[in-house]
Amino acid sequence: MSRKLLEKYRQRYAAESGACQPGNGGLRVALLYPNTYNQAMANLGFQSVYQLFNRHPDCSCERFFLPDREDIDEHQKSALPLVSLETGTPLAEFDLIALSISFENDYLNLPLIFDLGQVPLFAAQRTKVEPLVLFGGVCAFLNPEPLAEIVDIVAVGEAEPILPSLIPAVKKQLEDPSSGLDLLKGLPGIYLPGQTVVEQDETGEITQISAAPVLRCYLDDLDSSASRSFILNEEAEFGDMALTEVMRGCSRGCRFCAAGYIYLPPRERSLDNLLQQVEIGLCDRQRIGLVGAAVADHSEIARLQQEILARGGEVSVSSLRLDALTRKEAEQLEAAGLRTVAIAPEAGSQRMRDLINKNLDEAQILEAVQLLADAGLRNLKLYLLIGLPGETDADVEEILHLAEKVRLIWREAGRERGSLGTLTLSVNPFIPKPFTPFQWVGMEDAKGLKKKIRKLQSRIARMPNTSLISEPIRASVLQALLARADRRVGHLLPEIAAGGNLGQILRRNGLDLDFHVTRERGKDELFPWEVIDQGVSRSYLRQEYKKGLVAQATPRCSAACRRCGIC
């Protein structure tokens, strides 16, 4: 056993404020985030689920993470199994392993984590004495099928309405292993992939799913359950701030955005509830990070920011609403000490912005940039997509034109204050995600995407104080595969995680990368992810897809709206 590693984990736990003291009885849950500690502890979903498990009177929960890069070899050399942060208990000794997964590419860490934890990766290889595996988080209710033969249980939706009935049912099931998972059948938001048969034809297209889709669960009243940084540690990403969830869902209807659809309907916390969370956060941190898919759309966002500043705090926001940004709001951001602010035009050309239903024109973008520049913000980041359906070279060229206009505004403001800031373009490929209007379209192939990135890099390099960042194309293609694949791909995770040519790996195993990633799907094709039901009707998504192709706008949803089928 490695004393050095155990001491590192002990010190990490001791450095935290707010961690739960695990109990001794009831259901023993290993909450596992398949990435490093600093990534996991910046995730409010992970933190909230940890609290929900530990607040249940019949449950005790401890946390597990992917070891830091420098610690993996030490685990393997010393034969120290993966252990919990709280008590140093090995993973295999828990009753339930609860996976909290927000990003598809984190699937690739599962083979290593299960190996270090000395737990078989695939459900068929595990015996009744080994932990059950629960799959939760965003990926679980986007497309759970790539992990269908790894996990035993899938939580379809938000944890707050699911866990109260799931925890006692799992406990009873463990007391009577002969029942299989029958005690979990029919529970709200619970999908049992091992009890669902998915039939496919010779091409790989799905012809039949044996069970009715499981309806996603969501929390009606956000005020009924807190979601904030319960545990603080400087080591975590954003460790210098206390995070607070402002709202869930988004009314904007951007056609490429999975979060905008799978978290419908839009819900916001009351100002009183938010201030309660803020005041707790300010006890330990001066900066409050406001989190949500559309923070700037909160009905009292300006008042909330004012109240934080009045209490001596600072504000960091995860998103800005460009079409309604005011001079006062921009000045509040600067007063809060923000050095970098990010905005999301998403596309350079008006045609592409209309196609994705961004409902934003260039004048509005530049006006917002001017307000931010005048307020004294030093650094600006633009989020942009390439590879959108029907994109042409002219549309890519418009990204450069927009960047130059933004740069000139930013340069002039910098000259006036005597300090030039930076402009960063974050440009990444469009990935067609499940349960969005663009779930039918294919992703642009890697060759075309690389050509566009090279063109942008070459031109941006000539712009002073401007840079371009982009994730590797392979990572984007891999994300698309894992977001859109059926359960056959899960068997290949250990091989994919080991590296190598993705297309060759699939071909060696009788699969085709283009089938999952780049082909356009048939109008009536049954998708792997339709083992679950998000609540948004398929006909509505198809209608939005058609409107997107002709760049026709759809207005924001509202309390009186009945278009999509959620409300």
Whether 565 is covered by a domain: the verdict is no
Domain-embedded: residue 287: yes
CATH number at residue 326: 3.80.30.20
Same domain, 164 and 117: yes
pLDDT at 1 over 70: no
Q: Is the pTM of this model over 0.85?
A: yes
Could you tell me if residue 410 is inside a domain? Answer: yes
Secondary structure (DSSP) of 296-323? GGSTTHHHHHHHHHHTT-EEEES---GG
Q: What is the mean pLDDT of residues 510-533?
A: 97
Q: Confidence class of residue 333 from pLDDT cuts 50, 70 and 90?
A: confident
Within this chain, do residues 30 and 143 fall inside the same structural domain, yes or no? yes
Residue 211 lies in a domain: no
Cβ atoms 318, 292 nearer than 8 A? yes
For the chain, first and last CA: distance in Å? 55
Per the model's pLDDT, the better-predicted residue between 179 and 225 turns out to be 225
Is there a domain that residue 563 lies in?
A: no
Residue 532 lies in a domain: yes
Mean pLDDT of 485-492: 96
Residue in this structure with the two tokens 């009715």, named with its chain if needed: 212
In the chain, the percentage of residues whose pLDDT exceeds 90 is 82
Judged by phi (left if over 0) then psi (alpha if -120 to 50, else beta), residue 174 lies in alpha
Give the model's pLDDT for residue 536.
Answer: 95
- Do residues 304 and 169 both lie within one domain? no
User: Rounded to 10 degrees, what is the CA torsion of 537, 538, 544, 549?
Assistant: 180
- Torsions phi, psi for 96 (to 5 deg): -140, 130
CA distances from 265 to 271, 292, 295, 359, 403 (A): 19, 13, 15, 19, 34
Residue 190 sits in the same domain as residue 290:
no
pLDDT score at 232 = 95
Element (DSSP H or E) covering residue 549? helix 538-549
200 is a domain residue: no
Tell me the average pLDDT across 447-475: 96
Q: Clarify whether residues 166 and 103 are in a common domain.
A: yes
Task: Please determine, for residue 481, whether its predicted confidence score (pLDDT) is greater than 70.
Answer: yes
Mean pLDDT across the chain, nearest whole number?
94
- What mean pLDDT do residues 190-211 have? 96
Within this chain, do residues 109 and 242 fall inside the same structural domain, yes or no? Answer: no
Whether residues 363 and 405 share a domain: the answer is yes
Same domain, 122 and 270: no
pLDDT digits (tens, 9 = 90+) for 35-53: 999 999 999 999 999 999 9
> Do 62 and 162 fall within a single domain?
yes
- Residue 405 belongs to domain spanning: 222-549
What are 68-94's pLDDT values in tens digits?
Answer: 999 998 898 888 899 999 999 999 999
**Residue 555 DSSP class:** P
Share of the chain above pLDDT 70, in %: 99
Same domain for 110 and 252, yes or no, is no
244 and 128, same domain (yes or no): no
Average pLDDT over residues 413-437: 92
Question: Is the model's pLDDT at 322 over the cut of 70?
Answer: yes
In a domain, 385, yes or no: yes
Q: Which helix (H) or strand (E) holds 160?
A: helix 159-175
Residues 400, 532, single domain; the answer is yes
pLDDT mean over 232-248 = 93
More confident residue, 301 or 384: 384
Who has greater pLDDT, 208 or 296?
A: 208
Gap between the Cα atoms of 404 and 531, Å rounded: 46
Residue 272 has pLDDT above 60, yes or no: yes
Number of domains in the chain: 2
For residues 232 and 349, give the distance between their C-alpha atoms in angstroms, rounded to a whole number: 42
Cross-sheet strand order for the sheet of 153-155: 59-65, 27-33, 96-100, 132-136, 153-155, 190-191
Gyration radius from the chain CA atoms: 24
